[in-house]
Amino acid sequence: MKRLSLWAILATVTSATLAAPAFAGTTFDAVKARGSLNCGVHTGLAGFGAPDDKGNWAGLDVDVCRSVAAAMFGDSTKVKYVPLTTQQRFTALQSGEIDMLSRNTTITSQRDTELGMNFGPTNFYDGQGFLVPKKLKVNNAKQLNGATVCVLPGTTTELNLTDYFRANKMSFKPVVIEKQDELAAAFFAGRCDAITSDASQLASIRSAQASNPDDYVILPELISKEPFATAVRHGDDQWFDLVKWVVYATFEAEEKGITSANIDSFKGKTDPTIKRLLGETPGLGKALGVNEDWAYQVVKQVGNYGESYERNVGANSKLKLPRGLNAQWNKGGLIYALPIR
Amino acid sequence: MSDLASHDPKTATEIASHVEEPSQAELHIHRRNAFSALGWARDNLFSNIPNTILTVLSVTVLVWTVPPLLDWLLLKATFLGADPQACRDAGGACWSFIEVKHRFILFGLYPYDEHWRPLLAMGLFIAALAASCDPRLWNVKILYVWGLVLPVCGVLMWGGWLGLTFVPNDKWGGLPLTLILATLGIVLAFPLAVLLALGRRSDMPAIRAICIGYIETVRGVPLVSVLFMASIMFPLFLPEGLTIDKLLRAQLGIMLFTAAYLAEAVRGGLQALPKGQYEAADALGLGYWQKTRLIILPQALRLVIPPIVNQFISCFKDTSLVIIIGLYDLLTTAKTALADPLWRPFYIESYVFAAFIYFLFCYFMSRYSQYLERRLNAGTRR
Amino acid sequence: MSQDAPKTPWWNDRAIRAILYQILVVGAVVLAAWYLISNTLDNLAARNIATGFGFLTRESGFAIGESPIPFDPADSYAKAILVGLLNTVIVAVLGVILSTMIGTVIGVARLSGNWLVARLASFYVETLRNIPVLLQLLFWYALITEGLPGPNQALNPLPDVYLSNRGLKFPTPDWGGVEWLVLAALFLGMAGTFLLVRWAKRRQALTGKIFPTIRAGIGLILGLPLLAWIALGAPTQMNAPELQGFNFEGGHSVSPEFVALLTGLTLYTASFIAEIVRSGILAVAPGQTEAALALGLKRGQVLRLVVMPQALRVIIPPLTSQYLNLTKNSSLAVAIGYPDLVSVSNTTINQTGQAIEGVALLMAVYLAVSLAISAFMSWYDKKTALVGR
């Protein structure tokens, strides 16, 4: 009896878990056949990818997944989120467990070549900096010789830190802790003289976790460039194209002032770029292999880049990051949509 | 826990005698003073000089630790409806964090409006576990209970049937997930463990070598690396075109890991059987499998129940390591709840809450296993 | 079957059956392994995942917080992993020693006639046993970093010893080149003690006289180096830690991560060892104690000479698995930032993308360490086992 029920359960579980082919042909076809998108996200990084109190995923990186699903299926909810730790993220992409990696990942040449990834457009420009207590009287990073520095492991952050100190012939002691909240807690307890991370993170760490944020200062130097982007596998051109142009479409929509609220009012406008974007002039969708209204669905369901930014990391969020480098190119930033034509 | 002593005054003195060596006169006093508090204190706390010193030391430790703890836990703590700032100002524990986040910590990513389903499934599950704890039910009846409970739990968790919306298992999380991983880990590992244990005691060298190799290899590596290997390697083991989901991967990893430990427990039971049982079975002319199934295992497994419960306890605690492969078990949800910038400073509260839940389960199970050991050894007491 | 047959057919012959079974099982295992490996190789090829251990010789490019041997970011990944392994071994060895001591004390305390002591010991065991060790590590680390002052306000309990949230700093002697002679004297003391114990045992067996070996041994082990040091003119200068800039320079330091990890692992494992010790003592028949007392032995002697040697036989096998558990649990160090084997391997995996090799290496190293512990313990077990049991 027990054996029987166990076998029954095993059979159910197996049938439920042995999914459709992961590599029968291209990722594009596999996603289409599956009817949903497997998207690798962070296990919990506020503003970029984290479940809220009700268990719904939200964040700037999560919005990329939703946008791709909206373009592909006309439905931004057709995403299966796969939360990944830093150690798993590349392996999960290589092994086909996920179709795309949208997880706060810095573009580097080694990842692009050796690890066999293709990076989409940068959707967040960041740089690594230092946060120090004011009472240390440190005004720039050059004065940190001999300091103890708190750092997250296994990211480019750790390497940049080492490179910076080596280049300037300074010594330091790293304290490497896996989880950001514990790392920050250790720093505010005085375990380290400085904490290093991406500037966006430092701002949120300071505002959220310091008992008195004014006692801490972010040093002026940024010691690295951290462009975050979505990654897909090598040799998957159609899929790569789709991911790339979905991100550009959200940039373009912001530049043209098209938001999820007002997009319907742009219908029937004469601007040829907008006509192409909304799918009123056909051709783009067919070329990408999706419906002609793909970009309309993206903006309608997820919003343009600016909306996503303000909602997750900007003024309307808990992180309150200024646009800075992430403003449109005509507003002093680096967000620049390639021509959609 | 009172030592075994409390159940049997004779053993009490025996136990004490290993350390204390009470004289007959003292024992006499002990009986006479059992009813007066002062006399009790004199016998149990101040019977001689070293004893008095120990008592004073212990009291010092208590005075030094308990008041600040109480202060933080209750007196200075903020409870319902407070915001993070009010918590910071109060300076004690911030239980409002738990109030805001407890549903996420308990159920993880499970759709918010459907939380009654995992709750009900968990209730049934725990009830079935509790029922299995009664030795009077260790027969076919308990199989009927589980045969009924498990499918019901499955339907509740997955849904997609009887008007329940379908919830894929990558959305499961929190306490139900911890329970599922631990219980199925033990249940699925059991048949494999029995085979491994029999194989390790077999007189065929090749089979014995394979079993010893497996058991010792698995017992020699940390679970963290097994889980990590499982999450990376299982997709690669399967032929092209098949993928296997994360939960099942972790479950298999935990199962393969637990099987090795369980096998050693079962082997202990097999070794504890008197040789005569084996010889008698051989004399009856039973074949190996008949002998094992009818004579050996039924007796050996009864002996092994307490170690199995202990293995279940450690398995329950070890599931907290699936945080390494990004599954939302109880500890992961407790940590993820802290990703919210507003509540980040209150990680201790989060851990205390999680620790409390783990403690409740493990403490009751460990008490149960002690009770079982006493019950099973009742006949063999010295 | 074939009971009335004049001769059993060959497939019912026990020996042949055994061989057949084994061929079947081994064949099945080999086939399964071959199937999995070939699948893996196909998949690796299909997914362009590079394999191989070539990355080990490349420059690591990251720094490690604490290391028993000098380590520089310019060193190779192989050396980084070696540093991680050494850090793991240090924690494991100290953890085993400390948890055995604490566990024994708590185990005996649970059997104490003093009600309060027994209760406290039980409370300790029940609480720590039933909470995941990972949670406990996080707790201790938070306590140490939050609870201690910064280096500028460091506690100074002894001259030149500083305790802050940067760890414990203490002065190290600067021997001025004579440390080898002193070390040699120490070894001489140990060897002398060993011989003395053997001689005392023989004498006791022959004459029944007890020689105070413990006192003499301590005298030898401490006294000889001290004498050597004085004979050389007591040349030691202390190398004291001093506050310079951000932190203390000089002397020796123990980091908070190390202390938290060691504390957490030790206290957690000690709660299990306490139970093992308790049941081991209870397993010794009470008649043994009574007989020993009747012979006129003192209470301490009863424990040391009669109860413990017998209890050890019951204690050692489960104790071995606790030591193994402690070693394996040290892999949780990454959660609190102690650069152990797992932490360093994690960083390596992340930078090279060689996850499979990294984890395989990790498992192989742990397996080797575990087997070494098992081998040592079984040797010790054989040594203490009673002959003719």
Q: Which pLDDT tens digit goes with each residue over B142-175?
A: 778 888 888 888 888 888 777 778 888 778 888 9
Instruction: Round to whole Å and give the CA distance between C253 and B117.
Output: 53
CB distance from A2 to chain B under 8 Å? Answer: yes
Q: Which residues in chain B are closer than 8 Å to A211, comparing Cβ atoms?
A: 88, 345
Q: What is the mean predicted confidence (pLDDT) over B54-67? A: 86
- Which chains reach chain B with 3 or more Cβ–Cβ distances below 8 angstroms? A, C
Q: Answer whether A1 sits within 8 Å of B147, measured CB to CB.
A: yes
Q: Answer whether B326 sits within 8 Å of A82, measured CB to CB.
A: yes
Instruction: Round to whole Å and give the CA distance between B318 and A84.
Output: 20
CB distance from B235 to chain A under 8 Å? Answer: yes
pLDDT for A4: 41
Lowest average pLDDT, out of B319-333, C157-171, C316-330, goes to C157-171
pLDDT for B380: 52
CB C241 within 8 A of CB C248: yes
**Amino acid letter at B31?**
R
Dump pLDDT digits (tens) for B201-219: 888 888 999 999 999 899 8
Residue from C51, C164, C246, C344 whose CB has the most chain A CBs within 10 Å, to mutate: C246
Instruction: Round to whole Å and give the CA distance between A220 and A202.
Output: 12
Residue from C48, C55, C62 whose CB has the most chain A CBs within 10 Å, to mutate: C62
Q: What is the mean predicted confidence (pLDDT) over C133-150? A: 82
Tokens standing for residue B123: 């209730």
Q: Answer whether C115 sits within 8 Å of B4, measured CB to CB.
A: no
| Cβ count near B74 (within 10 Å) | 12
Length in residues, chain A: 341
In this prediction, what percent of chain A has a pLDDT beyond 70?
Answer: 92
pLDDT for B152: 87
DSSP state of B165: P
Q: Answer whether B222 sits within 8 Å of C120, measured CB to CB.
A: no
A 6-65 residues inside an 8 A Cβ radius of B: 6, 8-9, 12-13, 16-24, 43-46, 50-51, 53-57
Instruction: Round to whole Å and give the CA distance between A277 and A295.
Output: 6
CB distance from A91 to chain B under 8 Å? Answer: yes
Pick from B51, B61, B225: which is nearest to C114 by CB?
A: B51
CA-based nearest distance A326→chain B, Å? 21
Tokens standing for residue B190: 């059991």
CA-based nearest distance C231→chain B, Å? 41
Q: Which residues in chain A are closer than 8 Å to B159, comparing Cβ atoms?
A: none
> Has residue C249 got a pLDDT over 80?
no
| Cβ count near C383 (within 10 Å) | 8
Closest CA to A48 of A12, A94, A3, A101: A101
Instruction: Round to whole Å and give the CA distance between B378 and A102.
Output: 60
Tokens standing for residue A9: 């359960």
Instruction: Round to whole Å and give the CA distance between B231 and B241.
Output: 17
Written as one string, the DSSP assignment of C244-268 is: ETTEEESSEEE-HHHHHHHHHHHHH
Q: Across-strand partners of A58?
A: A50
> Has residue B10 got a pLDDT over 80?
no
Pick from A114, A136, A175: which is nearest to C337 by CB?
A: A175
pLDDT for B260: 93
pLDDT for C101: 93
Lowest average pLDDT, out of A241-255, C53-67, C84-98, C118-132, goes to C53-67
CA-based nearest distance B309→chain C, Å? 13
> Has residue A335 got a pLDDT over 60?
yes
Instruction: Round to whole Å and give the CA distance between B38 and C56.
Output: 70
Distances (CA, A) of C133 to A61, A325, C127, C263: 33, 44, 11, 11
DSSP 3-state of A179: coil
- Which chains reach chain C with 3 or more Cβ–Cβ distances below 8 angstroms? A, B
- How big is the CA angle at C34 (ends C31 and C39), to the nearest 5 degrees? 125
Greater confidence (B377 vs A243) lies with: A243
CB A131 within 8 A of CB A254: no
Residue from A23, A61, A97 whose CB has the most chain B CBs within 10 Å, to mutate: A97
Dump pLDDT digits (tens) for A140-151: 899 999 899 999
Q: What is the mean predicted confidence (pLDDT) over C192-208? A: 83
DSSP 3-state of B108: coil
DSSP 3-state of C354: coil
Closest CA to B226 of B197, B192, B209, B249: B249
For chain A, helix, strand, coil in percent to 5 are 45, 20, 35
> Has residue B4 got a pLDDT over 60?
no
Cβ-Cβ contacts under 8 Å for C165 (sequence gap 6 or more):
A189, A190, A191, C144, C145, C147, C148, C149, C150, C151, C256
Residue from A3, A6, A206, A319 whose CB has the most chain B CBs within 10 Å, to mutate: A6
Closest CA to B236 of A231, A89, C347, C45: C45
The H-assigned helical ranges of B273-346 are 275-283, 288-290, 297-318, 330-336
Cβ burial A258-290 (10 Å sphere, 16+ → b, else e): bbbeebeebeeeeeebbbbbbbbeeebbeebbb
Q: What is the mean predicted confidence (pLDDT) over C364-380? A: 88
Instruction: Round to whole Å and give the CA distance between A140 and A132.
Output: 10
**Nearest-by-CA chain B residue for A83:** B326
Q: Answer whether B225 sits within 8 Å of C331, measured CB to CB.
A: yes
Q: Answer whether A191 sits within 8 Å of C349, measured CB to CB.
A: no
Instruction: Round to whole Å and give the CA distance between C90 and C83.
Output: 11
Instruction: Round to whole Å and give the CA distance between A273 and A291.
Output: 17
DSSP state of A20: S
pLDDT for C329: 93
CB distance from C110 to chain A under 8 Å? Answer: no
In this prediction, what percent of chain B has a pLDDT beyond 90?
Answer: 15
Q: Answer whether A22 sits within 8 Å of B108, measured CB to CB.
A: no
Pick from B17, B47, B317: which is nearest to C289 by CB?
A: B17
**Nearest-by-CA chain A residue for C48:** A116
CB B39 within 8 A of CB B32: yes
Pick from B203, B205, B229: which is nearest to C363 by CB?
A: B229
Mean model confidence pLDDT for chain C: 83
- Which chains reach chain A with 3 or more Cβ–Cβ distances below 8 angstroms? B, C
CA within 13 Å, CB half, C204: 10
Dump pLDDT digits (tens) for C309-329: 888 888 888 888 899 899 999
Tokens standing for residue B93: 């524990």
H or E element at residue A82: strand A79-84
Rounded to a whole number of angstroms, the CA Rg of chain B reads: 26
Instruction: Round to whole Å and give the CA distance between B62 and B46.
Output: 17
CA-based nearest distance B369→chain A, Å? 23
> Residue C11 — pLDDT band, cuts 50, 70, 90?
low
Tokens standing for residue B258: 């637990």
pLDDT for B240: 65
pLDDT for B378: 59
Lowest average pLDDT, out of A30-44, B114-128, C83-97, C212-226, goes to C212-226
pLDDT for B9: 37
Instruction: Round to whole Å and give the CA distance between C140 and C285.
Output: 40
- How big is the CA angle at B288 (ends B284 and B294), to the nearest 5 degrees? 65
B375-B380-B381-B382 Cα dihedral, nearest 10 degrees: -170
Q: Across-strand partners of A118?
A: A232
pLDDT for A18: 45
Closest CA to C341 of C65, C82, C78, C53: C82
To which residue do tokens 């951000």 refer? C246
With 0-12 / 13-18 / 19 or more C-beta atoms within 10 angstroms meaning exposed / middle / buried, residue A328 is: middle
* CB pairs A-B closer than 8 Å: 137
CA-based nearest distance A116→chain C, Å? 7
Lowest average pLDDT, out of A181-185, B351-355, B362-366, goes to A181-185
pLDDT for B269: 85
> Has residue C283 got a pLDDT over 90?
no
Q: Which residues in chain C are closer than 8 Å to B233, comparing Cβ atoms?
A: 40, 356
Instruction: Round to whole Å and give the CA distance between C42 and B237.
Output: 9
Greater confidence (C167 vs A37) lies with: A37
Label the pairing between strands A224-233 and A172-176.
Answer: unpaired
Instruction: Round to whole Å and give the CA distance between A44 and B323.
Output: 12
Tokens standing for residue C356: 């499979």
With 0-12 / 13-18 / 19 or more C-beta atoms within 10 angstroms meaning exposed / middle / buried, residue A303 is: buried
| Cβ count near C367 (within 10 Å) | 17
Length in residues, chain C: 389
Instruction: Round to whole Å and give the CA distance between B39 and B30.
Output: 8
CB distance from C112 to chain B under 8 Å? Answer: yes
Greater confidence (A263 vs C318) lies with: A263
DSSP state of C387: T
Cβ-Cβ contacts under 8 Å for A209 (sequence gap 6 or more):
A181, A184, A185, A188, B341, B344, B345
> Residue C386 — pLDDT band, cuts 50, 70, 90?
low
> Residue C176 — pLDDT band, cuts 50, 70, 90?
low
- How big is the CA angle at B181 (ends B175 and B184), to the nearest 5 degrees? 130
> Has residue B189 got a pLDDT over 80?
yes
**Nearest-by-CA chain B residue for C300:** B19
Phi, then psi, of C261 in degrees rounded to 5:
-65, -45
Cβ-Cβ contacts under 8 Å for B70 (sequence gap 6 or more):
none
pLDDT for C388: 42
Q: What is the mean predicted confidence (pLDDT) over A315-334? A: 90
Closest CA to C278 of C27, C107, C36: C107
DSSP 3-state of B73: helix
Dump pLDDT digits (tens) for A87-100: 788 888 888 889 99
Tokens standing for residue A71: 């373009």
DSSP state of B178: H
pLDDT for A165: 93
CA-based nearest distance B20→chain A, Å? 46
Instruction: Please report the beta strands in chain C, taking only residues with DSSP state E, as ranges in sequence order.
Output: 155-158, 161-164, 167-170, 172-174, 237-239, 242-244, 247-249, 252-254
pLDDT for B192: 94
Phi, then psi, of B11 in degrees rounded to 5:
-65, -35
Instruction: Round to whole Å and give the CA distance between B24 and B34.
Output: 15
How many helices (H) and strands (E) would you count in chain C?
A: 12, 8
Q: Which residues in chain A are closer than 8 Å to C50, comparing Cβ atoms?
A: 114
Dump pLDDT digits (tens) for B89-105: 777 788 888 888 888 88
CB B284 within 8 A of CB B266: no
Q: Answer whether C130 sits within 8 Å of B20, measured CB to CB.
A: no
> Residue B292 — pLDDT band, cuts 50, 70, 90?
confident
